[in-house]
Amino acid sequence: MSDTLSHVSLAGVAFGLFLGISPTLSTMIIVIIAAVFLEYLRTLFKDFMEIGTAILMSTGLALALGTDAWWWEKLDELGSIFVWFYPNHYG
């Protein structure tokens, strides 16, 4: 279960960056939702308890990579990440 939630947490970080909110806050919210959903899947598929783990792990990683690809495209439009985060230092 912890391995699944760690993969889902990557999607939380990516969504936080995508939405422009705190990645920590978005990660906590998404991991809590994923944990509840994982327990729901475990009760739904009592004979196949590992299916929920596989579904959430692959979905979390796919969402993280998809959102991350969008993020890197945006950085190409905005310029260097250092200029974006520290505009006073890099003019």
| pTM reported for the whole predicted model | 0.64
Per-residue pLDDT tens, the chain, 91 aa: give them: 777 888 888 888 888 877 888 889 999 999 999 889 888 888 887 777 777 777 777 778 787 777 766 666 665 555 555 555 655 554 4
At residue 69, the pLDDT reads: 66
First to last CA, the chain: 46
Q: Is 87 helix (H, G, I), strand (E, B) or coil?
A: helix
Conformation bin of residue 72: beta by default, left when phi > 0, alpha when psi is -120 to 50: alpha
